[in-house]
Amino acid sequence: MPSLKTQNDSKGLNRARCIHASRLPEYRLPFGARPAGSYVEIFFDCFKEATNVTFCYTYGLYSFSYHEEPMYSVSGLGRYHVNLMLPSEPSILFYWFRFNVPGDLEDLQEEFKVSGEDDNPAPDITLYYGAGMDTKDGEGTIYTCPPRVGVDEDKYPFAFQITVYNKDFKTPGFLKGAMMYQIFPDRFARDHSFSYERLTGTDARQERIYHEDWYEDVDTKGKPETGYLACDFYGGSLKGIEEKLDYLKELGINVLYLNPIFEARSSHRYDTADYLNVDPILGGTAAFMSLADACKERGIKIVLDGVFSHTGADSKYFNKFDRYEGVGAYKAFNEGEESRYRSWYNFFRNEDGSVGYDSWWGFPDLPNINEDDLSYRNFIFGKDGVVDTWTSRGSAGFRLDVSDELPDSFIRQMRQTVKEKTNGEGAVIGEVWEDASNKCSYGSYRDFMLGNTHDSVMGYTFRHIILDFLCGYIDADIADSRLEGFRERYPKEAYYAMMNLVSSHDVPRIMTALSRPEDTDDRDVQRGFKVDKKYYDIISSLSKMAFAFQTGYIGASCIYYGDEVLMEGYKDPFNRRTYPWNRLDQRQQDALAYFRRIARLRTENACLRTGYYKTLMAGGGSFAFVRYLKEGRDAFGNEASGSRAVVFIMNRSDKPVHVDLTERYGSFDCVPSEINGGIHPLSEQFILGGILGGTRQIGIKPFGTVFVVY
């Protein structure tokens, strides 16, 4: 489909005579997502020969209403304006522009033009102006047909978007700009009283494998009689985590995110067996209470992993293998007995008469829950239910596993209940891998970024952008455009609480991902993959750069355990290896010191947690931005401590670069006071003296990162 790209000068003024840039105040004000019932000023520069210039929009969530509004010139030179009152209810609003122009208009590219016949002028043609892709300042593009925004449609041509969120939407203060640490509990740390005999005696299930050697590699075969079931255990415990809390505080951590801790058959525990009790291997519920108290003393919040779309087949609720007391849903259906859990699941009979049931992605060990069942909702949200129990025990909220597979109404009730139980300070974080502001699944747009369901979502989109940039697949200007697009579409309350990550239990670790291994499901190949020694220094520098970026950027910075010491690991289960306590080599110790230094920058400077943001430079392999305060206040109007501003500069390329802060940063009228985290060929003293002497040029070596503190 042909498109005509417009051009704009450095001030955003129209040269091609047709432009709307959604991230520039000359064209849309205020910036970004907006509260329901508020107003947005929208301007569109069009060809002065244009007629019937029309503002087209559609809004809704589960169903959409389409409307058109004539636009009138405000200057006589082709500038058009709309003062748009946004819907009074949270929704997604898409918009674009339609207009007519003579088919032989000089400014049109050839593919748009039509010719007249004989002495007759060329007829008018109808064109549409919608959003572009990866464009500077959200600039749009001319199309020959209107944008498509239907749930099941290919979304090209693109529409501009305004996320209309609940005007009362607030996210917890502890989550904004947080330093998070994600732990896979079995693999982080054994406690000092660990006993292998006690570990093996905890549970006698025949499929379980117990590792006596903490440093032994993960199992991928299982026992011969059962095959692989992710049932190997190392004896990591909640007490082990508690004993390492001072280590976490040195990393600046104020939020601890734990992968599932509820009793389950597997070591990953996404097959919940008992929602109300901690797995005995982890130390039981008493160990959680002790951990919660110790975290509270250190100002650390705990977010638990909640798996509510399915349970384990081997659970007290389903009880397929009859290992738990009482009648589970499986036996109730198969033998006609009574069970309070029967209505939670969807059963049927196969052609051969055997029992069938809905399961998560077809895995029989993970039977799906019917989340609309009111008895199940009472169990989760009612008095003494799951939310009530764990918030009273000290949890500050939940990360929702496969959030996009839960009904919106379920997540709304989850958030409402969490807020009620925590005086409004609890958090609900969703596992959403795509753009949560316009996510479509199960035949509908989803209520994910409208202030009703999630406080935040996992930053897999952030990870994707950072990896693409650091691997050289995209340049800094594209990375910046994509990040700015998310900042535009997400409510500020949510964006400052985004769980930005570069590794997790579901993706290869950052060191491995940056090595760009061939995609394979061969576990023997995955097990043996290591970062090439020739490129180790480069890969480790890029890994540090990724951490520095997420720590300097807007949102919560989430470290996956072991990334701070450059752990490697391909896909599950190799990204879930044990932390190498007492075996760190010199490079790993240096990396840990680097992580601590960068983390301290955020903990000591509120501008890196809740400050304003501005991109200073983005091109090629160089990216620079500033986080700053205005008159001592942050982006939410609160008084803030620490430095007035911190500039972050990184050089992804294999050649040194020089950045002149006078041109890029002069308007903020700040004097640099120190440089931290610099990896550059010049000494800190020389560069600092150069800046204070007026040159303000910083040299950054290949694959180098610099913070400048003002």
Concerning whether 674 is annotated as a catalytic residue, the answer is no
What is the C-alpha to C-alpha distance for residues 664 and 670, in angstroms, rounded to an integer? 12
How do strand 3-5 and strand 140-143 relate by DSSP bridges?
A: antiparallel
Contact (Cβ atoms closer than 8 angstroms) between residue 553 and residue 650: no
Q: Which helix (H) or strand (E) holds 233?
A: strand 232-233
- Structure token digits, residue 27: 């064209």
pLDDT at position 700 is 87
Phi-psi category of 295—alpha, beta or left, where left has phi over 0 and alpha has psi -120 to 50? alpha
- Structure token digits, residue 375: 């008895």
pLDDT (mean) for 376-392: 98
pLDDT (mean) for 608-635: 94
| pLDDT single digits (tens) 398-450 | 999 999 999 999 999 999 999 999 999 999 999 999 999 999 999 999 999 99
Q: How many residues does the chain have?
A: 710
pLDDT (mean) for 103-119: 74
Closest by CA to 177, choosing from 557, 636, 458, 483, is 557
What is the C-alpha to C-alpha distance for residues 121 and 115, in angstroms, rounded to an integer? 8
| pLDDT single digits (tens) 330-352 | 999 999 999 999 999 999 999 99
What is the C-alpha to C-alpha distance for residues 171 and 180, in angstroms, rounded to an integer? 16
What average pLDDT does the chain have?
91
DSSP-assigned beta bridge partners for residue 664: none
| Residue 667 binned pLDDT confidence (cut-offs 50, 70, 90) | very low
The type of residue at 266 is: S
Contact (Cβ atoms closer than 8 angstroms) between residue 133 and residue 143: no
Catalytic residue among 45, 191, 431, 480: 431
**DSSP 8-state code for residue 156:** -
Reply yes or no on whether the pLDDT at 185 is more than 70.
yes
- Structure token digits, residue 245: 């809390």
pLDDT at position 693 is 35
The torsion angles phi and psi of 660, rounded to 5 degrees, stand at -100, 105
| Residue 696 binned pLDDT confidence (cut-offs 50, 70, 90) | low
Q: Is 378 exposed, middle or buried (0-12, 13-18, 19+ CB in 10 A)?
A: exposed
Reply yes or no on whether the pLDDT at 92 is more than 90.
yes
pLDDT at position 512 is 98
Concerning whether 431 is annotated as a catalytic residue, the answer is yes
| pLDDT single digits (tens) 36-80 | 999 999 999 999 889 999 999 999 999 999 999 999 888 777 899
Catalytic residue among 232, 305, 365, 401: 401
More confident residue, 674 or 442: 442
Contact (Cβ atoms closer than 8 angstroms) between residue 264 and residue 272: yes
| Residue 118 binned pLDDT confidence (cut-offs 50, 70, 90) | low
DSSP alpha helix (H) spans, 245-283: 245-250
Sign, CA torsion 201/206/208/210: positive
Closest by CA to 198, choosing from 248, 169, 235, 244, is 235
What is the C-alpha to C-alpha distance for residues 706 and 615, in angstroms, rounded to an integer? 15
Instruction: Tell me the pTM.
Output: 0.93
- Structure token digits, residue 186: 């079995």
Closest by CA to 365, choosing from 235, 230, 275, 259, is 230
DSSP alpha helix (H) spans, 395-475: 408-421, 460-470
Q: Go through the domains of the chain in sequence order and give each one's CATH number.
A: 3-165 (2.60.40.10), 179-308+371-597 (3.20.20.80), 310-366 (no CATH), 612-709 (2.60.40.1180)
pLDDT (mean) for 158-163: 98
pLDDT at position 48 is 87
pLDDT at position 256 is 98
| pLDDT single digits (tens) 542-584 | 999 999 999 999 999 999 999 999 999 999 999 999 999 999 9
What is the C-alpha to C-alpha distance for residues 139 and 18, in angstroms, rounded to an integer? 10
- For 515, other C-beta atoms within 10 Å of its C-beta total 21
